Amino acid sequence: MTTAASTACESDVPMAVLGIDLGTSGCKTVLVNRDGAIIASASASYPLSTPKPLWSEQDPEHWWEGLVASVREVIGKWPTEAIEGIGIGGQMHGATLLDAEGKVVRPAILWNDGRCQAECNLLHKKFPGMIKETGNRALVGFTAPKLLWVQRHEPEVWKRVRSVMLPKDYLRWRLTGDKVAEMSDGAGMLLMDVGKRRWSAKMLKLCKIDESYLGRLIEGSEIAGKVSAAAAEVLGIRAGTPVVGGAGDQAAGAIGAGCVKPGMCTIAIGTSGVVFTTTKGYSPDPDGRLHSFCHALPKRWHQMGVMLSAAGSLQWFRDTCAPGVDFGELCAEAGAAPIGSEGLLFLPYLTGERTPLCDALARGAFIGLTRLHQRTHLTRAVLEGISFGLAESLRLIRATGTRVTEATVTGGGTRSDAWMQILSDVADIRVVLREGADAGPALGGARLALIGCCGVPIDQACRPGAAVKTFVPNRKAVAIYATLAKKFRSIYPLLRPYFHGL
């Protein structure tokens, strides 16, 4: 295990909260004062196990070790008696299985595990109304099909199971001893009636899961329990410190960016891309092309589109066609190429696609390549293709009745002004880069603790950071891209038989 820490700034405000982000590669903890400023941060890494093709697992004990290491690093910079609460955000969908004594019975099966497609197919066959009930299609990343897989392939293991926890809920249980689940993360299990914010009796019966295995459901800002004496001794913090429900990583990240009111939107451009919009109520896409989850705050929901190769597509292109070239230089020269890249289109489906295709067998492609095209055209086509993919999620969100005109964008893609303007024009949306928006789920967890443990009003705790840069749609470019978007959407159906025949 490796650790790293950094101190942001000194503060005269004595009281603070801890925000924790349980990631796939490591655990990050931030110390945040009542004004919402990050005082200190620390991180601890841990390994990922892939024992078989499509498998992705972790030992939950490594999560706990990461939490302990990062928390102890942070609290060394602040009086422990001044810590008022804790909130945890974390990787979603993981299946953490415990026996009656609270012992982990097998490694946790993670969100990026792909072994249970047969179980997904079975769920759709047995419950045609599943999308309306749960807000989502059955995908291999979700928890319910993982549990079916264990039942079918490891029956002796399943006989021992008495608790099913999501990763961050497991950590909260280690902190407090209370078995509690939380709405935004629970909605990603495929076991909730998302519209009614409760466990789905139909899904539990179908998956043969006793509700007692899951724990009580609470809101992300609601206090779930208090730090036990045993955990306090290990961590070096005060016993009795309250811990809130927290949130799944995407909802926590959105709260960290201030995306809490209907119509507010964030677009995260990392290896994958996520379009997240807070909605007035529960409004699932009838075909399940979007994810519809509970938000981490009461009486709020969100819709989310996920593309699998966002900046990952640019990384592949740079490494393959322009090795060693700086990303900034590559994107800047693409900005000089004409809109539409002289008739060249790029499908960013290098690792399949989730939204809107739900097709693991989709593949990437350049369409319209000629001798006229140079590297600048190819780079721009890649940036435009990624932007078309992200805009597809916005198109679906808008089709459900949610009005979206502005997006706070985070991630590595924000370093390129050229790319941000392309995204603004393709998606016909005002793109805003904000202070602190990249702080992520750890800050979201801390903000939930400020609300639940300190009584800070939601609007105050979750206010967006100041705008650093804003990109406004160019109406001429928007019109051109609207025509190109139709061509972009027409390509996949034509190539699908070929992709599936590979």
- Mention every residue, 6+ apart, whose C-beta is less than 8 A from residue 148: 116, 119, 122, 123, 207
Across the chain, what does the average pLDDT equal? 93
What is the token pair recorded at 453?
Answer: 């443990």
Predicted local confidence at residue 76, as pLDDT: 84
CATH of domain 258-435+472-502: 3.30.420.40
Give the number of C-alpha atoms closer than 13 A to the C-alpha of residue 130, restricted to the C-beta side: 26
Token pair 């978007």: residue: 485
Mean pLDDT of 403-425: 94
pLDDT score recorded for residue 437: 85
DSSP 8-state symbol, 33: E
Question: Hey, which residues does 223 pair with through a beta bridge?
Answer: 244
Sole residue written with tokens 């589109």: 305
* Nearest Cα to Cα of residue 310 among 422, 439, 160: 422
H or E segment and range at residue 156: helix 155-160
* Same topology between domain 3-250 and domain 258-435+472-502: yes
Mean per-residue pLDDT, 301-330: 94
**Sequence letter at residue 488:** F
Spatial separation of the C-alpha atoms in residues 478 and 387, rounded to whole Å: 12
Q: Which pLDDT does position 7 carry in this prediction?
A: 39
Buried b (16+ CB within 10 A) or exposed e, 421-453: bbbbbbbbbbbbbbebbbbbbbbbbbbbbbbbb
> What is the β-pairing status of strands 467-471 and 108-109?
unpaired
Cβ atoms of residues 32 and 75 within 8 Å = no
Residue 412: the pLDDT is 87
pLDDT confidence tier of residue 1, bands split at 50, 70 and 90: low
Q: Which candidate, 154, 140, 145, places its Cα nearest to that of 127?
A: 145
5-9, 194-198, 293-297, 381-385: least confidently modelled range? 5-9
Using alpha carbons, select from 393, 182, 402 the residue that is nearest to residue 293. Answer: 182
- CA 413 to CA 422: how far, in whole Å? 11
- What pLDDT score does 14 carry? 65
Residue 276 has pLDDT above 50, yes or no: yes
pLDDT tens-digit series, residues 152-174: 999 999 999 999 999 999 999 99
Contacts of 210 (CB under 8 A, 6+ apart): 204
Confidence band (pLDDT; 50, 70, 90) for 102? very high
Phi and psi at residue 396, in whole multiples of 5°? -70, -40
- Residue 230 is encoded by which pair of tokens? 């045993």
The yes/no answer on whether domain 3-250 falls in CATH 3.30.420.40 is yes
**Can you give the residue ranges of every domain in the chain?**
3-250, 258-435+472-502
Please write the tens of the pLDDT for every residue from 333-378: 999 999 999 999 999 999 899 999 988 889 999 999 999 999 999 9
Q: pTM here?
A: 0.91
Does pLDDT of 485 surpass 90?
yes
Q: Which of 291, 180, 324 lies closest to 244, judged by CA?
A: 180
Q: Which two tokens stand for residue 370?
A: 């000629």
Q: Are 62 and 77 within 8 A, CB to CB?
A: no
Backbone angle region of 188, left / alpha / beta, with phi > 0 → left and psi within -120 to 50 → alpha: alpha
Name residue 464's amino acid.
Answer: P
Q: Are strands 467-471 and 430-434 parallel, antiparallel or unpaired?
A: antiparallel
pLDDT of residue 35: 87
The residue ranking higher by pLDDT, 118 or 6, is 118
Question: Cβ(381)–Cβ(345) under 8 Å?
Answer: yes
- The catalytic residues are 249
Average pLDDT (479-495) is: 97
